[in-house]
Structure 1
Amino acid sequence: MLTIGTAGHIDHGKSSLVKALTEIDPDRLPEEKIRGMTLDLGFAWLSLPSGEKVGIVDVPGHEHFVRNVIPGISGVDGVILLVAADDGWMPQTEEHMRIINLLGIQNCIIALNKIDIVTDEEWLELVEADITERLKGTSLEGSPIIRISAREGTGINELKDAISSLVQRVKTGRDIGKPRLPVDRVFIIKGSGVVVTGTLHFGALSAGDDIVVLPANTPAHIRSIECYKETSKKVEPGCRVALNLSGVKKDDLGRGDVIVPAWGDKSTSKIVNTRISLLLNPEFSLKNGEEVLIYIETGEYISRVALMGTRELIGGDTGFVQLKLDREAPVYIGQRLIVRRQSPADTIGGGVVLDPFASPFKARYTDTTISWLHRREDLQVENLILTELEKKHFVERNGVLSYSFYSQDDINAVVDELVKQKTVGIKAGYLFQLEDWQEKKNETRRIIDHEHQKNPLKRGITGTALQVKIGLPREILTTMVEEMLTDGIIYRDGEWLAISGYKPGLSSQQQAAEGQIMSLFKAAPFAPPTLKELLRQFPGNEDVIYFLMDKGELVQFADGILLEKITYNKIKSEVTAFLKANGQLAIQDMNKLFGLTRKYTIPVLGQLDKEKVTKREGDVRVLG
């Protein structure tokens, strides 16, 4: 299935043509009936002799409503551009043609309408020659010109034949497994509830699917689906569809929203790097810091621009531009966009999204940023993957380029080839460039070595602390550490990681302090100083105290209580023996056994409970 749009100057007969083709009046608003012109998007469909249905989007022709044209044309597979035989090429014909060209739509039919009121063959030939000349160098060049009269029906069959030919040559409805529905209308149907319409891209949707509305990330459910007024259980990409949604309010939705499956990519962004081309017009320009209107799919955004490598683009120029949108937009790599200035209101150019999730542009990185964007502007999968890895270093294989118009099969095929060529490595489900893997191993060693120098009495660094410092995904760091352990670069001591051959040790001065500290514990094994008292008594030797605790020579309990390890092991052993002999142990028994005061007894018993040596039952302990 495919969808085509109409385009052309006001009063050149777009809506009349749609009605002649489909017998459906696309003007749905009462004001449109009164004023006799299309103000917003209208929709109809045509059944071809082959049985295939083609959706038709009718767009307004008046210059004041161009902002409604872009959402209608942006999602179509082809366009019928109308030119009235009596008027010929007009200003809105020109602007609509520019929009079609900027969106890269290559399948077009020119309908030369109102031939019933122009009988001069020479004039018709002049109009056709003018059209042909104006289309040169655009995506519409070479489009067939069909003479018609929408009012009298002349040439309508020939136009239907041209549409049938367009259907045959257009590769539409490509299913890449990433369903996406840009919303162009939201309304309420009594008895059914909220309905949204749009043209479905990149994948199929089914009744019963759970979906998410972007950019707000609002969950909803597809209650039912209509495609060309027929209820469908499933719709394919290329269809004009109406979704009846539950779980969401009308006020939560609007034109510019995008519907994706609950399991789909939900990426949104306010800062995007693009390549923008301005139309060849001496009056058009784009200045650094200027505010413009940006049209992406069915959405309209106010954006401030940051030009890269220049202060101004003039008509005909192409350059890399960062867009800072006024709100989050559902974006993907390769997405087309239109640029309009606000005053005077003109379409001045268009472009393509190269980096949907850009960091704020900094002038000092201009050359680097431009070089990176150059390497991905051809939108080839291989170049996109390599530049993604250059930027992020480690990317989950299952998520690489999820925000692109490529299928997972397309991406996987290129990834497999890059891995086979040893251009890219893969470990723990992450892709990386081989030089990045080695650099991160070197960085890991530097971090551990720095920790040794900074804290020579510590056994090394914990895995958690290492991950915070190096900033790698846990799966990657775990794999990297295991590889370094196997290679003998580092060793593991409990929770600590250290450079092979490293041993924490005390200086001669610190050894003297160690002796003094330990003598206090041997002199009063069951009433030694607390941690707070030690720190006060041995200022400047905090590292020595913590070193003894880290080595396990001193055991710390609650409230800063410390005991020598040998003393604590003695307590543990004798408490166990006492309980086996007596069945239970009271707090006062600790004083009888060891001379421990309550200050020491409570924290020690708490630790014994924690280690399940003992278990508290009321005011006594039993064996754990």
Structure 2
Amino acid sequence: MHVLCTAGHVDHGKSTLVRALTGMEPDRYAEEHRRGMTLDLGFAWTTLPGPGAVAFVDVPGHERFVSTMLAGAGPVPAALFVVAADEGWMPQSAEHADALAAAGLRHGLLVISRADLLDPELARDDARAELAARGLGSWPAVAVSGRTGEGLDALRTAIAELVAGLPAPDPDAAVRMWVDRAFTVRGSGTVVTGTLGTGTVHRGQELELDGAGGRIAVTVRAVQELGEPVETATGVARVALNLRGLPREKVRRGDALLDPHAWPSVVEADVRLHGIGGPAQVPDSPVGLTLHAGSAAVPVRVRPLGDDVVRLRPDRPLPLRIGDRAVLRDPGAHRVVAGLTVLDPQPPALRRRGAARRRAGTLAAASGVPDAAGELSRRGAVRTGDLVRWGVPGPEVAALAARVPTAAGWLLDPTRATEAAEALDRAVAAHDAADPLDPGIPLAEARRAAGLPDVALVAVALDRAGDGAPGGPVVRDGRVVRAGDDGPPAAVLDAARQLHADLTAAPFAAPDADRLAALGLGPRELAALERAGELLRLTPDVALLPDAPDRAVEVLRGLGPEFTLSAARQALGTSRRVAVPLLELLGRRGRTLRTPEGTHRLR
């Protein structure tokens, strides 16, 4: 199927044209017939030789309903732009043309209607000039009369040629269907309609409804395409979806149905503005504008970054990807301000002076085409899942992951890896110089020092930059230390050798506080020796040789199957100060167990 919107004209000349093409009535309300103008979105369809089914979204033309017009035109790939021969180019024609140009809708057909009332040549020439001024001058033109049928065959041929040139949608793409109408059907429940641009929906499918209240899971109970029930619908298509268990008040125009977990929830976005027939003008005020994306119309705050780059903060999160086109409009002035292309749906915070201008420089080369390598280069590190959600094709992400450092679902830019490793080298050197007894820094501190988003990236950054070279930082036991680190300072190692001599003679006679003080071994020195594997500390001030547990088990074997604490203390030749924590350690390690009588047994 192909879907076109009919825009440009304000009264029934446009609706009469749609009726003549399709045999259907696009205006659904009696008020529309009474006033002779379209007030809401209308829908009709027909079958043409060649393209087959072609659907039309008939949008209102009056300036009071431009927001509704944009809701209908936003998700549609092509337009029939209607100008009446007897009225010519009108103010609403200009705003409709501005909106279509701003939205990036480049495929269209100029239709001069009411050709039976006046020679269409003047209206056609004026309209072509106006469209050309907005970058739409390549659209072919056809003159018709919906009342007499004159030119309808030529129009059908032109429509067939138009849709033949439209880009082919991807049936496997992630679903995003903007809702343009929601209502209740007795016996079925809530039904929503919209233009499915790409992807496929089918009965029983699980989707997410993205709206003002956040995202909720929904199930497709039934699918209709052009009024007929179908099992599956593939974009581009006009579809109606019956959603199971969804109250009507939970959905409204501007919401979107999405493949679960496939789309970002954008709270801020950096975008490039596009002028209409000239350079883009950055808005003077940060407020008062409306962002039109798909069928959504959301108030938005605008922060200028550079000449044509701004940061947008919509009033509610929106499912937008890199390359999405949208429209900025000033509803108070009834004026389309600019079109825009999304460059970054998850931009970094701007905290320092001059950050906005630097950010504009970073985005100067951004094209709005999803690019895995470009995103990684700009960000330094990025999740693979985020790249796919932002619109980068999965195979491109996989190919990049095969070329760069990866960890825990993250990709790390090689240049950023080198910078991180250098920062870690400096941080470890500074820490060790300030505190030789505590070599290296914990991983969490290392992550912050390197400016990395995840601790898993610390090790891969070091591996990529230094490949574990001697003397360089490495990850060991949850810390970043120097690969050639010899442990505690020489004076502490000398004291440890004297302590080793004492304990070799009496393995379980832990030195008391006076002896430790005489050796210059305080709590921090003992902790450093324990990290280096020189000592085993049973408590902060009770230290033995590292093999003391094994020696103790050999001694205790001679006490029989069960023994008391007192017997163990005497056999080991030590005090309760040492025997109690030593037996507790043996129990924790599974070497002994306690009996119901309170004695100990070797395993």
- Name the TM-score class by shorter chain: 0.7 to 0.9
Distance 2:419 2:51 in 1: 60
Question: CA offsets, 1:589-614, max 9 Å, x none?
Answer: 44554577767655433321211111
Question: CA offsets, 1:58-114, max 9 Å, x none?
Answer: 111222111111111111121111222222211111111111111122222222222
Matches within 5 A, 1:256-405: 256-262=254-260, 264-279=261-276, 286-309=283-306, 319-361=308-350, 364-377=354-367, 379-380=368-369, 384-396=371-383, 400=387, 402-404=389-391
Of the three residues 443, 460, 474, the one matched with 2:423 is 443
8 Å CA contact 2:106–2:136 kept in 1: the answer is yes
Of the three residues 228, 231, 234, the one matched with 1:230 is 228
Of the three residues 456, 460, 485, the one matched with 1:502 is 485
8 Å CA contact 2:25–2:44 kept in 1: the answer is yes
Q: CA deviation at 1:11?
A: 0.9
Question: CA offsets, 1:137-168, max 9 Å, x none?
Answer: 33431423322232444433332222112122
Q: Identify the range of structure 1 (14-23 vs 235-244) with the bigger mean alpha-carbon deviation.
A: 14-23
Q: 1:434 to 1:475 in 2, by over 3 A?
A: same
Distance 2:343 2:421 in 1: 31
8 Å CA contact 2:267–2:316 kept in 1: the answer is yes
Distance 1:145 1:49 in 2: 20
Matches within 5 A, 1:505-544: 505-506=488-489, 508=491, 541-544=522-525
Distance 1:495 1:348 in 2: 54
Which residue in 2 is equivalent to 1:316? none
Please give the TM-score of this superposition, normalised by the length of structure 2: 0.85
Which residue in 1 is equivalent to 2:143? 147
Distance 2:437 2:59 in 1: 75
Of the three residues 463, 470, 473, the one matched with 1:488 is 470
Q: CA deviation at 1:399?
A: 5.1
8 Å CA contact 1:461–1:497 kept in 2: the answer is yes
8 Å CA contact 2:388–2:397 kept in 1: the answer is yes
SS in 2 for 1:339: strand
Distance 1:489 1:298 in 2: 59
Matches within 5 A, 1:188-199: 188-199=184-195
Q: 1:347 to 1:472 in 2, by over 3 A?
A: closer
Distance 2:171 2:190 in 1: 27
Which residue in 2 is equivalent to 1:245? 243
Matches within 5 A, 1:7-86: 7-29=7-29, 31-32=31-32, 35-50=35-50, 52-86=52-86
Distance 1:239 1:349 in 2: 28
SS in 1 for 2:316: strand
* Identical aligned residues as a percent: 26
Q: 1:248 to 1:623 in 2, by over 3 A?
A: farther
**How many residues end up aligned between the 2 structures?**
594
8 Å CA contact 1:301–1:327 kept in 2: the answer is yes
Q: 1:550 to 1:343 in 2, by over 3 A?
A: same
Query: How much is the aligned-residue C-alpha RMSD, in angstroms?
Result: 3.8
Matches within 5 A, 1:89-168: 89-116=89-116, 118=117, 120-121=118-119, 124-168=120-164
Q: 1:554 to 1:49 in 2, by over 3 A?
A: same
Q: CA deviation at 1:299?
A: 1.3
Which residue in 2 is equivalent to 1:452? 432
8 Å CA contact 2:51–2:163 kept in 1: the answer is no
Distance 2:64 2:518 in 1: 83
Q: 1:481 to 1:236 in 2, by over 3 A?
A: same
Distance 1:610 1:393 in 2: 45
Distance 1:489 1:472 in 2: 25
Residue 551 (str. 1) matches residue 537 (str. 2): no
Which residue in 1 is equivalent to 2:599? 620
Please give the TM-score of this superposition, normalised by the length of structure 1: 0.83
Q: Identify the range of structure 1 (430-439 vs 163-172) with the bigger mean alpha-carbon deviation.
A: 430-439
8 Å CA contact 2:113–2:144 kept in 1: the answer is yes
Which residue in 2 is equivalent to 1:315? none
Q: 1:158 to 1:494 in 2, by over 3 A?
A: closer
Which residue in 1 is equivalent to 2:446? 466
Distance 1:565 1:267 in 2: 57
Q: CA deviation at 1:3?
A: 0.8
8 Å CA contact 1:340–1:347 kept in 2: the answer is yes
Identify unmatched segments of 5+ residues in structure 1: 311-318
8 Å CA contact 2:282–2:304 kept in 1: the answer is no
SS in 2 for 1:38: coil
* Residue type at the aligned position of 1:268: S
Q: CA deviation at 1:268?
A: 1.6
Q: 1:617 to 1:211 in 2, by over 3 A?
A: farther
Q: 1:38 to 1:600 in 2, by over 3 A?
A: farther
SS in 1 for 2:267: strand
SS in 1 for 2:268: strand
Q: Identify the range of structure 1 (585-594 vs 608-617) with the bigger mean alpha-carbon deviation.
A: 585-594
Residue 408 (str. 1) matches residue 394 (str. 2): yes
Distance 1:261 1:193 in 2: 21
Which residue in 1 is equivalent to 2:217? 219
Distance 1:583 1:400 in 2: 63
Identify unmatched segments of 5+ residues in structure 2: none
Question: CA offsets, 1:147-205, max 9 Å, x none?
Answer: 22324444333322221121222224244623221222222222222322221223223
Question: CA offsets, 1:382-405, max 9 Å, x none?
Answer: xx444422322133556535413x
Distance 1:58 1:485 in 2: 63
Q: CA deviation at 1:31?
A: 4.6
Q: CA deviation at 1:227?
A: 1.3
SS in 2 for 1:21: helix
Question: CA offsets, 1:447-505, max 9 Å, x none?
Answer: 33333223312353455653454325455443444564553344676665532433233
8 Å CA contact 1:214–1:330 kept in 2: the answer is yes
* Residue type at the aligned position of 1:214: D
* Residue type at the aligned position of 2:525: V
Q: Identify the range of structure 1 (324-333 vs 359-368) with the bigger mean alpha-carbon deviation.
A: 359-368
* Residue type at the aligned position of 1:352: T
Q: 1:611 to 1:33 in 2, by over 3 A?
A: farther
Q: 1:16 to 1:539 in 2, by over 3 A?
A: farther
